[in-house]
Structure 1
Amino acid sequence: MAKPTPDRLRLLSANIQAGSSTRAYRDYVTRSWSHVLPNGKRINLDSLAELAANYDLVGLQESDPGSLRSGFTNQADYLAERARFPFWSHQPNRRISRIAGSGNALLSRIQPDEMLDYALPGRIAGRGVLLANFGEGKDRWTLAITHLSLGAKSRQLQIGFLAELLSDAPRLVLMGDFNCDFDAPEMRPLYRETALEPPPERVCTFPSWAPQRCLDHVLTGGFEVLDYKAVPAAGSDHMAVGVELLPK
């Protein structure tokens, strides 16, 4: 199990696809049952826990808070226990009866001073941002975890909301599945109105078996990025993004 160091932070952002396994486009059809049944997900979650154990903070997207497809298990809670994270929080954003649920989550070895969650605007409800504040005074920093919409118009609304929400934070991290590249036109308000900067390199994360699209990012402000890479996330159709940060 990794332990946090006082000067460096190891962060992971992962769309875990609710623990499902997708290794080719045909699996969206042939394994469609995995979207409603829990079979096979525990093995993937255990692999994700092994990966998460190497990091200080982990932001999850598409984490099931407890429904039929997860065996009525809160996946963030399960991962926190398996990877021995003392602190965790979950933001459920979308639920389809008792069949499926989805949301953002945080696993942390550092105790947050404050946890907040917000619904994001959009043409279809069900997106949000989970926000954690750490430290005090000059050491204070903010971590936000989100999963943006597929449509560009909804992303524009959501990014505008995020830019206003994070505009006063001098040191911050925004991570998640943005469903667009970091230099897409709708992303510009984040760089113009907040301390956030684009990642140091373009890392493609989707589909995980042959990454061609750069959809998952960790944006930072007030940190030096020491390492930035894509990491396989068990059977998810997205690669995770792992970073190592040094406060400026």
Structure 2
Amino acid sequence: MLSANIQAGSSTRGYTDYVSRSWSHVLPAGNKRGSLDRIAELAGRYDIVGLNEADPGSLRSGFTNQTHYVAQRAGFDYWSHQPNRRVGGVASSANALLSRLEPREIIHHPLPGRISGRGVLMGRFGDGRHGLLVAVAHLSLGANSRASQLAFIAELLHDHPNAVLMGDFNAPLDRPEVQALFRNTRLQPPECVVPTFPSWRPQRAIDHILVGDGLRCSGACAMPAANSDHLALSLELDVPESALD
């Protein structure tokens, strides 16, 4: 599995780029297509991929649906995206799920928060409570909004042993709102924490892949997602055959 905040294909290699290259977040300039090609090359090594900040086709991406582009380049037969935020009327952002397995169902949920627009995208790969359930989310910067969003997600996942929640949490795992998620679901804290932000000098572990107690995982590691300000996070997931039936 792979989880990556791709920053809509924009390049950020240091804090000064947030100012000097701010135009790239709203205009279709820069080598975004080249960045998407590198992201697709990385994504193509995995079976299930969750993306955050994939532009669904606004001005800044040259009206390219970046999820579709990456899915095609990486050879994924199944993909879905959830547009969730608009920026100044010229840019948009989406959660995305790419899979080599055909999902039984794709579910879109809006998330609560002080500013509306965020959501959680869910793919169901097996039937019933024990089926594999994969959720992709990009949580808010504010702690109060994150708490309400994680409480909502906990209600969706609370009794699923084979659930996966991945994405940009904008928070480390020791935050109270994340600890409440562990208490109210069967998701487990990972054995090791991998820093993912900022990508040029990773110090904070704010991107996560959390798995339920019915699943086993290993080999968590971080790697560049082209020139995004987040590193991508990957792991090996052992899924029981019964979870895919």
Structure 1 residue corresponding to 2:223, chosen from 200, 219, 231: 231
1:93 aligns with 2:90: no
TM-score under structure 2 length normalisation: 0.94
Amino acid at match of 1:141: L
CA contact (8 A) 1:62 1:104 kept: yes
1:145 aligns with 2:119: no
- Give distance in 2, aligned partners of 1:30 and 1:186: 34
- Give distance in 1, aligned partners of 2:2 and 2:52: 11
Corresponding residue of 2:171: 180
Cα deviation code 1:111-144 (max 9, x no counterpart): 0001001010000112110001002368621000
**Secondary structure of 1:122's aligned partner:** coil
1:246 aligns with 2:238: yes
> In the comparison of the two structures, how many residue pairs are matched?
238
Corresponding residue of 2:191: 200
- Give distance in 1, aligned partners of 2:114 and 2:60: 26
Q: Residues 98-109 of structure 1 correspond to what in structure 2 (within 5 A)? A: 98-109=89-100
Percent identity between the two aligned chains:
60
**Secondary structure of 2:188's aligned partner:** coil
- Give distance in 2, aligned partners of 1:242 and 1:179: 17
| Mean Cα deviation higher: 185-194 or 112-121 | 185-194
CA contact (8 A) 1:200 1:228 kept: no
TM-score under structure 1 length normalisation: 0.93
Gaps of 5+ in 2: 241-245
CA contact (8 A) 1:14 1:238 kept: yes
Amino acid at match of 1:52: A
Structure 2 residue corresponding to 1:211, chosen from 191, 197, 202: 202
Shift >3 Å, 4+ stretches: 136-139
Cα deviation code 1:11-37 (max 9, x no counterpart): 000000011010011111111110112
